[in-house]
Amino acid sequence: MGDPDPRRRVSVHHALGGGFVADLLLWKRWGGGVIVLTAATSLWFLFEVAGYNVISFASNVFLLLVFILFLWAKSATLLGRPLPPLPDFEISEESVSKLAEVVQKGANSVLSIAHEITIGQNLRVFLQVACGLWIVSSIGCLVNCLTLAYIGVLLALSVPYLYDRYQDHINPKLCIANSMIQKQCKNMNILLKKMPLSSNKEKKTQ
C-alpha cells in the first residue's frame, strides 16, 4: 500500500466514534472539556505537588459522601421528603462476563507472546518485547504513573483538536514520517532475516 493522500481530509469526529467522547475531545462541549481539564489538574496538583496521599484522599471523599447521604436520609425521614435517589448497587452478570472476556483475551495474548519467545524462540518477537519494555522502563524512570496519566489527559484534549484544525499542514509531514518509518522497518526486517533463527520444524527433524 502506498502513502495516504496528504490532501485528503479525515473526519476526526467520526474517527473518535462521533459520540459524547468525540465532542469532548474536540472541544465541541466546552463545559465538559473544562470540567475534565480542571479535575485532572486539581488531582495532579493534590497528589504530585501538594504531596497528598491517595488513600487518605479517597477515604476523606467517601467519608464526606457517607456523611452527606446519612444527613440527607435523616432529614428526609423527619421532614417527609423523598430519600436520596441512589441506584441499585449491583453488578450484573453481563458486565462480569464482558470483563472476564477482556481479561481472557489479554491473558491469552500475553501467553502467546511468551510461547513465541520461549518455545518458538522467535527472535523478532523477543526484540519487540524487549524494546517495548525498555521504553516503558525509561519512561517510568522519568515520570511517575500519575504524571504520565495527566500528560495523557492533556494530549487527549489537545492533539485531536489541533489535528482537526490543522490537518492540511500536518498530513504532508505525517506522510514523510510514515515513509521514513517504513524504510527503517524494511531494513530491520532484512537484518533480522539474515540472523539464524531456529524453528520448530528443525527441532522435529532432529
What local confidence, expressed as pLDDT, does residue 164 receive? 85
* Per-residue model confidence as pLDDT tens digits over 20-74: 888 888 888 888 889 999 999 988 888 887 777 778 888 888 899 888 888 888 8
Q: Specify the higher pLDDT residue, 201 or 113.
A: 113
Residue linked to cell 489527559: 153
Average pLDDT over every residue of 9-27:
79
Q: What pLDDT, in 10s, does the model give residues 119-173?
A: 766 777 787 788 888 888 888 788 788 888 899 899 988 988 888 888 888 888 8
| Residue 63 confidence (pLDDT) | 92
> What does the pLDDT read at residue 87?
62
